[in-house]
Amino acid sequence: MGFVELFALAVGLSMDAFAVSVCKGLSMKKAGLKGMATCGIWFGGFQALMPLIGFLLGSLFARQIEAVDHLIAFALLVFIGLNMLREAITKPSSCDYEAGADFSAKTMFTMAVATSIDALAVGVSLAFAGNVNIWAAIALIGATTYALSAAGVKIGSIFGDKYEKKAQIAGGVILIILGFKILLEHLGVL
């Protein structure tokens, strides 16, 4: 997997964290560097940690399921992408203005885990996809999520919640496209 694909994956995975960060920004009268850095560190850190855990778990089973690993990677990415699309289309705004102002460790930990569960599954799919430098992948995923989460706080404090659903839709579409790319490459179409 090349840089462009890894970057697209990083952007797709960071969209949930971006949307939550926008909600955090909505609750603030003025987004400062502390709030931006807090969201960036929590969300970026967990978005980097979860694919590593998933990759390590997936690597344990990669040899046993090598014949169907591309199908598993495809299925996981498409499932996660479709789930993101479904949530964006069917659920009302997830911004909770009361919780938005809370930057406590307990709240941030809960939100960071919740927004990075899909990254765990993506880590498993990276183990099955093969030819992936996991260290480069998690560094790029973490850095991208940090930057987008910090920006999300600022954007939320300025523009409101009109970007939340668009971010989730974009993330879902990116993950689905990457899933199809892995499948088509394995089948020799690409």
Q: What are the distances in angstroms from CA 78 to CA 6, 45, 98, 127, 133? A: 16, 24, 33, 16, 22
pLDDT tens-digit series, residues 4-18 = 889 998 998 898 888
Contact present, 145 and 47 (Cβ < 8 Å):
yes
Biggest distance spanned by C-alpha atoms of the chain: 54
pLDDT tens-digit series, residues 42-65 = 999 999 999 999 999 888 876 777
Half-sphere exposure of 73 (CA within 13 A, CB side): 32
- Cα 68 to chain centroid distance, Å, stands at 24
Q: What's the rounded Cα separation, in Å, for the pair 43 and 49? A: 10
- Each residue's pLDDT expressed in tens, for the chain with a length of 190 residues: 788 889 998 998 898 888 888 878 877 767 788 889 999 999 999 999 999 999 998 888 767 776 776 787 788 778 877 887 887 788 766 565 545 567 788 888 888 888 888 888 889 888 887 788 999 999 999 999 999 999 998 888 887 556 667 777 877 787 788 778 878 877 888 7
Instruction: Count CB atoms within 10 A of the CB of residue 45.
Output: 15
Q: What's the rounded Cα separation, in Å, for the pair 114 and 33? A: 23
